[in-house]
Amino acid sequence: MPVHYEPGDDHVVWITIDRPEAMNSLDMDHFAQLRKAWDRFGEDDDSWVAIITGVGNSFCVGADLKTYIPQITKLQREIASREIEELDGYRIDDGVRAVLRGVKLYKPIVAAVNGACVAGGMEMLGGCDLRVAVPEAYFGVMEPKRGLFAGGGTTVRLPRQVPFPAAMEFLLCADRVPAEQALAMGLLNAVVPAAELRAKAEEYAHRITANGPLAVRKTKESVLRGLAVDMSEAYRIESEISKEVFSSDDAKEGPAAFAEKRTPNWTNR
């Protein structure tokens, strides 16, 4: 089954991993589809916020190890032998880009975690800005239990997103963490019953789209770029972005709408 890309109301798009028979694990084709969905979202001017979720009782459990390793190994050989970057729509970096590692995507992303979120699913969660989960969901980077390493971004992002002791317990003990514990450590914004998951994720998305889309996007950009540099450079980036936003059409529209007691008509410019 595919990865669905479904634009909806109020500039919100749903991206859904639809492989419940394999706990929404990803083979080479699904990694490529998910990477293309993120690329499409980044380029889609009418979509301001994305919500990522899965079908069934799993959010995403990462790579399908039964199929992905031989597939990607074969692809690597073919691409190297032909000295090309892409073959039949597949790229070597599909896997890391699908889980948002190193992707410069400054539009907000909401995760609606409907179940198991481990391995690559957990890596992708680190690239999401707001996270809502059902009580039955669980989280983990359990690669160390098998002598492996999680190289999809979690060792870099998690210590920047939750308190250091919580991040290190999560990473080094490699335990399966239930939703309520994940909420307590600051990994999640909310835990809601399954019947309310979609509505809660959309509530967050609509609260975001009520704001100026350029201002929102540039705020996320300032945060992410600032986290990657020292404080003085982060302030320089903030000032640079601030000037860009204040010179925009939306920066004129927001105060005008406030003065006229009406809803702003954002142009995303």
Angle at the Cα of 216 from the Cα atoms of 215 and 219, rounded to 5 degrees: 85
Q: Is 180 a catalytic residue?
A: no
Q: Is 202 a catalytic residue?
A: no
Q: What is the spatial distance between Cα 251 and Cα 24, in angstroms, rounded to a whole number?
A: 41
Instruction: Check residue 87 and give its pLDDT.
Output: 66
Q: Which CATH architecture has domain 3-209?
A: Alpha-Beta Complex (3.90)
- Would you call 44 exposed, middle or buried from its count of C-beta atoms within 10 A (0-12, 13-18, 19+)? middle
Which residue matches tokens 């927001």? 254
For residue 110, the number of C-alpha atoms closer than 13 Å in the C-beta half-sphere is 26
Q: Specify the pairing of strand 116-118 against strand 3-7.
A: unpaired
User: Among residues 78, 85, 123, 253, which one is catalytic?
Assistant: 123
Tens of pLDDT, residues 194-222: 999 999 999 999 999 999 999 999 999 99
Instruction: Check residue 146 and give its pLDDT.
Output: 87
CATH number of 213-259: 1.10.12.10
Instruction: Check residue 80 and give its pLDDT.
Output: 76
Closest CA to 157 of 229, 101, 223, 80: 101
Instruction: Check residue 88 and give its pLDDT.
Output: 74
The yes-or-no answer to whether 3-209 and 213-259 have a common fold is no
User: Among residues 143, 180, 196, 253, which one is catalytic?
Assistant: 143
User: Would you mind telling me the total number of residues written for the chain in this entry?
Assistant: 269
The SS3 assignment for 22 reads helix
Residue ranges in the chain modelled with pLDDT below 50 = none
DSSP 8-state class, residue 107: S
Torsion 144-146-148-152 (CA) sign: negative
Instruction: Check residue 76 and give its pLDDT.
Output: 79
For the chain, give every domain's residue range: 3-209, 213-259
Q: What is the spatial distance between Cα 106 and Cα 124, in angstroms, rounded to a whole number?
A: 15
Query: pTM for the complete prediction?
Result: 0.94
